[in-house]
Structure 1
Amino acid sequence: MKKHKTLALIGAEVGEGASDSGCKLGAQALRDRGLAAHLAEPHRDARWVDMVRARPEDQPQARLDSVEEFSVKLASVVRRQLQQGAMPVVVGGDHSCAAGTWSAVADAWRDKGDIGLIWIDAHLDAHTPESSDSLAPHGMPVAALLGHGSPGLTSLYGWKGKIKPGNLVIIGARSYEPAERALLESLGVRVMYMPEVDRRGFGACFTEALALVRQRTVAWGLSFDLDALDPADAPGTGTPVEAGIALVEALQALRGHAADPACVAVEVTEYNPLHDVDGRTAESAFALLSAFARVELREQALAA
């Protein structure tokens, strides 16, 4: 069996994007718990390569400035790992880190084509500074990646529109404001709101999403906010929302997709160890990443 890409774990130590900054502690907590060893397999190495930390701030505009600075630093680390042939695994941290992660991925692949992104989240994260009452940057990364919002988030690497609307699918949304939904609808982004996920099943939704994000792209990735899960499986997030995706369904659907040559990065965000219960959310994060990164099961399925 061939050797697969190294999983390059990158800690996104940022909580300045959220009202509750406890997510800043999430990456280190998962590192201390042994995430790299848990993900390592005979045919795939997993190792921590960097911990990127945001400048502490507590005022709204200063927090946005901090996140913008952080995004540049995180993007640089992610892009370097891509250039070295590894698969970046970004571990957050609040979800504002996605602006840096996926800007780096998009820029790395820009000469070859567009990238696709599956975004699994209880929220739409499609605010701009003009539409957000709180100015919390973790509510802005989707809009920023689509080219809308603060230039410090939209224009990393000097260009906007890192993700085209037709190459983005959001799954599991159930807490959002009208302005966010209006922006995504105006752009034609496919959003599978939680009622649709309940009706069809997460597996069917993920299969459709994967087909969509691979259709017109050269590479794709996954950004998974732990608050997409039901709080019974993931109580330790900054903004839990009731009636979410069951962990068992997510594990079944995600299993082995990192072995797809077109899959180039994965991100898990919003782990807040200060709110976790008996390590339940940490275990869910371990399980999600382990399922996604499994080599043998995916190869067997492809060969069948």
Structure 2
Amino acid sequence: MKHDMLPRPLALIGAEVGEGASDAGCKWGSQALRERGLAAHLRASGRAARWTGMVRAPAARHSAQRLRAVEHFSAALAQQVLGPARAGALPVVVGGDHSCAVGTWSAVAEHWRAQGDIGLVWIDAHLDAHTPATSLSGAPHGMPVAALLGHGSPGLALLQGWAGKLKPHNLVILGARSFEAGEQALLTRLGVRVMYMEEVARRGFGACFAEALALVQRHTVAWGLSFDLDALDPADAPGTGTPVAAGIALADALAALRGCAADPACAALELVEYNPLHDADGRTARAAFALLKAMTAPQGRGARPAPCAAAQACAELS
């Protein structure tokens, strides 16, 4: 399959959704990062970048309405992601609670469906693999992984008219340290590779990301990265809806992720769960800026994009 050899422009898409979470402050995360100058920050590093759309979820006044609101939002977000993907840009979805991942990756899977399967590295403090039947809170931001695997609410799992956007062996979850038995049981039954935070701390984030990226590339035509800011240690990123202690160090994430989107098989990026209401000193916004700048670091003009260091493990695992 032939990929464009030149750096693709970055299509920034705001995912204005907080209805999936108990703390709805993440709904204003993408707008806050836009107002802080995210696009200009990325352009200053040498990459064409502009906001191509902002998608806002309908308000849900009661908890029972949250799932329906997220279902409607996911369909709208998927359409917003498909446009830039078809035009040859790199969609970069900025959230927003993590329920937005259903729209993002359903669109990416739809775009690549005729060519083959997509892979996904999911970096998160949580497993996000609940279904309505296993979730005690009923919060949709705890359900996107299950939905993308084809389980749970039909309004999410059947987005774009088909289920199973991700095959279990094409998904790796990295950094999980807060989860419930029901969601863990689903992932175990399906055989999804989960690198819990204990393993990340023991082996190092760089080594784990290298293996994760190699795994999601083995049987796929394209891959993506979904990064939940609560994967980071709260000392580096306190401004999230659900911070969890003892997370990934920002410096380690920046070192491992640098230039990963230069891989022409990278189909999209997603950065979620920024909650400006909990980010009084702007520390988490700066972390978000640094992460996206690292991921999208450009290569030399006209040269074949070099894969990030993590991808060099592919040959060893193939």
Q: TM-score, normalised by structure 2?
A: 0.93
- Counterpart of 2:63 in structure 1 is 60
Contact conserved, 1:221 with 1:263, CA < 8 A, in 2? yes
Larger CA deviation: 54-63 vs 72-81? 54-63
Match of 2:174, SS?
strand
Q: 1:184 corresponds to which residue?
A: 187
Matched, 1:98 2:101: yes
| Superposition pairs of residues 68-217 of structure 1, within 5 angstroms | 68-217=71-220
Q: Cα distance, 1:58 vs. partner?
A: 3.0
**2:8 aligned with 1:5:** yes
CA distance in 2, matches of 1:48, 1:60: 31
1:44 to partner: Cα distance: 2.7
Alignment of 1:224-243 (within 5 A): 224-243=227-246
| Shift, 1:40, TM fit | 1.5
Corresponding residue number in structure 2 for 1:266? 269
Contact 2:21–2:97 (CA under 8 A) maintained in structure 1? yes
2:288 corresponds to: 285
User: Secondary structure of the equivalent of 1:296?
Assistant: coil
Q: Deviations over 1:214-270 (max 9, x none)?
A: 000000000000000000000000000000000000000000011100001000000
For residue 159 of structure 1, what is the amino acid of its counterpart? W
Counterpart in the other structure of 1:253:
256
Letter aligned with residue 78 of structure 2? A
Distance 1:301 1:262, change over 3 A: closer
Aligned residues: 303
Which ranges of structure 1 fall in alignment gaps of 5 or more residues? none
Separation in 1, partners of 2:6, 2:46 = 5
Distance 2:187 2:266 in 1: 24
1:265 is paired with a residue of what secondary structure? strand
Deviates more, 1:37-46 or 1:238-247: 37-46
Q: Which moved more, 1:288-297 or 1:174-183?
A: 288-297
State the shift of 1:3 in Å: 3.9
Which residue of 1 is the match for residue 315 of structure 2? none
* Counterpart amino acid of residue 258 in structure 2: R
Aligned residue type for 2:192: V
Measured in 2, the distance between the counterparts of 1:12 and 1:55 equals: 12
Q: 1:42 to 1:63 in 2, by over 3 A?
A: closer
Deviations 1:46-65 (A, max 9, x none): 00011000001132221100
Which contiguous aligned blocks of 4+ residues in structure 1 show a shift greater than 4 angstroms?
A: 297-304
Contact kept? 1:14, 1:23, Cα under 8 Å:
yes
Taking the aligned partners of 1:261 and 1:109, their CA distance within structure 2 comes to 14
CA RMSD of aligned residues (A): 1.7
Q: Greater CA deviation, 292-301 or 189-198?
A: 292-301
- Between the aligned residues of both structures, percent identity stands at 70
SS in 2 for 1:57: coil
SS of aligned partner of 1:99: helix
Q: Is the 8 A contact 1:3 1:44 kept in 2?
A: no
Does the CA contact (< 8 Å) of 1:16 and 1:58 recur in 2? no
CA contact (8 A) 2:259 2:308 kept: no
Output the amino acid matched with 1:290: K
Q: Deviations along 1:29-54, whole A, 9 cap, x unmatched?
A: 00000000111157531000110000
Q: In structure 2, list runs of 5 or more residues that go unmatched.
A: 313-318
Write the letter of the residue equivalent to 1:275: H
Distance of 1:108 and 1:300 partners within structure 2: 24
Partner amino acid for 2:183? Answer: E
TM-score scaled by structure 1?
Answer: 0.97
In the superposition, relative to structure 1, how do residues 302 and 194 fare at CA in structure 2: closer, same or farther (>3 Å)? closer
